Structure 1
Amino acid sequence: MALRIRKSFKIAPGLRINVSKSGVSTSLGGKGATVNLSKRGTRVITSIPGTGISASKLYGAGKRDAAPAPPTPVWAHVVTWLIIAAVIWWIFS
């Protein structure tokens, strides 16, 4: 049996930060259509709300077979979190 650990934080309407064992991702959208950006690629999920019917497509999955990408520089993570903090401050001020 596999153990899954995941936590999702709502940053703004239609914007979520997802944290799991495998890393961090960002989801944009809501009921009916969502785009998830992660290290695995971009996943687009469309659904008919309330029916349980959905479709999902992963773009960029072929990159896993290629040479590994260089690690993301630390400054890129710092800039991302500064932007998120500014958006949160703007929403609640």
Structure 2
Amino acid sequence: MGFNFRKSFKIAPGVRLNVGKKGISSVSVGGKGARVSLGKKGTRTTVSAPGTGLSYSSYKPHKKSAPSIKRQPDFSNPDNFLGYPKSEWIVSAIIGFIILIGVIWIVS
């Protein structure tokens, strides 16, 4: 058997920071009915009916791209927002929100 360590910290209502042996393992956002977990390897989305035991979960691994010096925006794809995929904007917004909450918490 190997040594395991996992701890979850509540940052704000509905936001949890999960820490493992190798550092931050994921950030979870949401409550009982719906949750999105952003981890090192991918994103897991879970939707449930609280109290019934019924839930649906989907996992989407992060795509690994070849290293490049600088990515160029792709304005030809109609699914992109300002040239970049919407998922990147969502992840950036969540990280920015967590940093904002941390700064407010430290200041107050």
User: Do Structure 1 and Structure 2 share a fold, with TM-score over 0.5?
Assistant: yes
Larger Rg: 2
- Corresponding residue for residue 7 of structure 1: 7
- Corresponding residue for residue 54 of structure 1: 55
Q: Structure 1's 62 and 8: CA in aligned 2 closer, same or farther, altered over 3 A?
A: closer
How far, CA to CA, are the matches of 1:67 and 1:10 in structure 2?
35
- What amino acid maps onto 1:16 in structure 2? R
How far, CA to CA, are the matches of 1:4 and 1:51 in structure 2?
31
State whether residues 12 and 88 of structure 1, in contact with CA within 8 Å, keep that contact through their aligned partners in structure 2: no
Is 1:29 paired with 2:40?
A: no
Q: Deviations over 1:1-34 (max 9, x none)?
A: 6765321101111111011236421001101100
- TM-score, structure 2 normalization: 0.56
Q: Structure 1's 54 and 5: CA in aligned 2 closer, same or farther, altered over 3 A?
A: farther
Q: Deviations over 1:44-69 (max 9, x none)?
A: 0111111222111111x2647x769x
- SS of 2:36's partner is strand
Q: CA RMSD in A?
A: 3.0
Is 1:17 paired with 2:17?
A: yes
What is the aligned length? 79
- SS of 2:46's partner is strand
State whether residues 11 and 88 of structure 1, in contact with CA within 8 Å, keep that contact through their aligned partners in structure 2: no
- What amino acid maps onto 2:6 in structure 1? R
- Corresponding residue for residue 86 of structure 1: 103
More relative contact order, 1 or 2 (CA 8 Å, 6+ apart): 1
